[in-house]
Amino acid sequence: MLSLARSVSVLDYLPPIFHEVKEMIEIAKVENPVLEALWQEIENGLLDQFLLSATNRGIKRYEDMLHMNVMATDDLETRRFRLLTRYNEQVPYTRSVLRNLLNSLLGDEGYELTINGADKTLKVKIELTVKGMFDAVGEMLGRIVPQNMVITVELRYNQHSTLARYTHAQLAAYTHDQLRSEVLS
């Protein structure tokens, strides 16, 4: 996400007569990277104002404000997703609000939601394509679902209908575990 905010040339701000002076050229060579870094920090400060465009430093700041623990293996997008789940939480939740929240986080086809009011159970099966968000969804549901409900979060593994479009030779390249729990391309 980091981009050079602005290309700086100190010589462009000096009269043309100084463009040939060796000392001025050397001064510009030293000052240009410093000014470019300054412009980049200004741009990063603006990007960090919004969660969707925040840099690593901005995401860290949001996590510190919410006292969130981060695993060392989490990439920037997973951390951003966890923050989005926290900021999208609002109580009380209805079924339609919960569906809208899951749609915005996982996509319309990224999960399967089953709510049984009589048994007080809520089950979410997450597609393999978004399995990196598994823990974050479980934590979010733990915070927003009423405490008298039993929450189950599972992965929706590959089904026979998914694998049926491949030949046996193509499937032989995968282990049983990969066929079950990996997104096949």
Torsion over CA: 64, 66, 72, 75 (sign): negative
Residue 165 pLDDT greater than 50, yes or no = yes
Range name among 14-18, 33-37, 86-90 with the lowest pLDDT average = 86-90
Question: Is position 129 within any domain?
Answer: yes
CA distance 46 to 43: 5
Shared-domain flag, residues 172 and 112: yes
Question: Is position 102 within any domain?
Answer: yes
Question: Is position 80 within any domain?
Answer: no
Tell me how crowded residue 111 is: count the other CB atoms within 10 A of its CB.
20
Torsion over CA: 168, 176, 133, 2 (sign): negative
Decide: 139 and 79 in contact? Cβ < 8 Å. no
Residue 91 pLDDT greater than 80, yes or no = no
What CATH number does residue 156 fall under?
A: 3.30.300
Shared-domain flag, residues 93 and 157: yes
Shared-domain flag, residues 92 and 171: yes
Number of domains into which the chain is organized? 2
pLDDT digits (tens, 9 = 90+) for 62-78: 999 988 888 888 899 98
In the structure, what pLDDT confidence band is assigned to residue 2 with cuts at 50, 70 and 90? very low
Shared-domain flag, residues 95 and 37: no
pLDDT digits (tens, 9 = 90+) for 153-164: 988 766 666 666
Question: Is position 113 within any domain?
Answer: yes
pLDDT digits (tens, 9 = 90+) for 44-59: 999 999 999 999 999 9
CA distance 113 to 93: 14
Q: Which domain holds residue 119?
A: 88-181
